[in-house]
Structure 1
């Protein structure tokens, strides 16, 4: 059993799917399956249960996962230290990024970082912030860029704070909101509660014709087409030619959306991690100013 086997094992735990893991690791499904079978023979136990929907880890696999994670982290750390001693910024960077930030802000920062440090193996995973927070806590990520507030006792830096806005098309600018369908999207509980409180204060009734959309781009496209109105963070409104109104509660509290970079202090000691955090902080300082 070698490092490649550990990588395959961890990937299957994450994806639950042989096809997805083989594509991610640039290997064939048959080769991946053979290596798992060989691991099971060496360890003397079944690691995965094959089902029609994918693979499920057995209790034995779940029990050894933390040890495999620790082995992989140790190997990565050894490589990172030896490469740094040679004066090369290399190693791996496991980065988790919220979907909206990845779509609207990350590409320029990542491009600049990869041009400066081409030897770093960058692994980017996009997901909902709550899932990224959990993965960071479980040492599956070096860095997590999350939207919203999370209790975190280690490294944290506020990248930006933006207004949350009511958005409608120009054709619907003067139409009472109760006469239009609301276009809603799933978000974290704190965001949804703030939006709910604002609707209550504005006496906006729950519409029977409301639409529930998962993708923020689809939600915005429906607003642009004049279907209805939505509550969206400003990060996704570049180029929007409709009407946007920042939300303010009756007590004067502005509803905003914050973006943080979170990391563990141990990982910050790795040069490639520290340099990426420095890069993203520099970008934030250049493009975002604190809200008054």
Structure 2
């Protein structure tokens, strides 16, 4: 079995459709079908059955498909280990990055790292912090940059902390906040829980949500246009001039802060490129808090 064969099994099991699988893997349908027949011949079993609604895996095929993730990870680790056996720092560094960090922090970091280690290439996946956390946990990426206090048992580095703020175009009276129009946005569950908890501790009535948008950046633009207030991490709001910020504070009157972390598995440090990147990040001078 070749690497591409395991990739075919995994993708076909996810898609349950020959056409979609071929398109995803940049193969023609005849080439994909031919490869499936060769895999079936190699194992001496039927792997899939075709139906009007797609393909159905036989018990033997389902077992092989379930082995595909494990085999692909194993083969990838073998390639990475061989590529990193020398002292030269090279190979592909796989990063999982929260959306905000990818936009505002990562490009400058990768530029500096690339200047120091020009042979290293990058594969970057972005998403919500909860998804990045899962990608690091599953070892789909070497390192993950997440926002929020996740329970991580492996190697980690606190990069910085930022306060969470009420952001508005004009000064606000906190007592009247429930009666004012608020702009909400999609965010990760940890931040949403933090904001909801602060609200219930300070107000007996729900917020007046006049608008919902998909991203924090879009939300900030709406606030800057005077369409309402929002509760945003400080770094999102600080890029826009003329806005008024009030830090959220807990019962002890301490600012409520949100942490940004770098997570990785300790065994990944055996790879030269991962070790170099972790050392590089440890030397970066991030402000402790915003």
Q: TM-score range by the shorter chain?
A: 0.7 to 0.9
Give, in angstroms, the shift of residue 207 of structure 1: 4.1
Give the aligned partner of residue 225 of structure 2. 225
Give the aligned partner of residue 272 of structure 2. 271
Decide whether the 8 Å contact of 2:98 with 2:132 is kept in 1: yes
1: distance between equivalents of 2:104 and 2:110? 12
Using a 3 Å threshold, how does the CA distance of structure 1 residues 137 and 15 change in structure 2: closer, same or farther?
Answer: farther
Decide whether the 8 Å contact of 2:165 with 2:245 is kept in 1: yes
Map Cα deviations across residues 121-163 of structure 1 (whole Å, 9 max, x no partner): 4211111111222222222222111111222211111111110
1: distance between equivalents of 2:95 and 2:132? 9
2: distance between equivalents of 1:48 and 1:254? 59
Decide whether the 8 Å contact of 1:177 with 1:204 is kept in 2: no
Map Cα deviations across residues 60-99 of structure 1 (whole Å, 9 max, x no partner): 6664456434433443333334333444322332211111
> Alignment RMSD, CA only?
3.5
Greater shift in the superposed pair: 13-22 or 148-157: 13-22
Provide the TM-score with structure 1 as the length reference: 0.80
Unaligned runs of 5+ in 2: none
* Aligned: 1:211 with 2:211: yes
Give the aligned partner of residue 287 of structure 1. 286
* Aligned: 1:126 with 2:122: no
Give, in angstroms, the shift of residue 233 of structure 1: 0.7
Map Cα deviations across residues 193-212 of structure 1 (whole Å, 9 max, x no partner): 33123323443742454322
Decide whether the 8 Å contact of 1:185 with 1:215 is kept in 2: yes
Unaligned runs of 5+ in 1: none
Give the aligned partner of residue 84 of structure 1. 84
Using a 3 Å threshold, how does the CA distance of structure 1 residues 8 and 239 change in structure 2: closer, same or farther?
Answer: same
Give the aligned partner of residue 165 of structure 1. 165
2: distance between equivalents of 1:216 and 1:196? 16
Give the aligned partner of residue 3 of structure 2. 3
Decide whether the 8 Å contact of 1:180 with 1:227 is kept in 2: no
Map Cα deviations across residues 184-239 of structure 1 (whole Å, 9 max, x no partner): 22334442233123323443742454322221111111111111111111222232
2: distance between equivalents of 1:18 and 1:161? 47
Alignment: residue pair count: 286
Is the radius of gyration larger for structure 1 or structure 2? 2
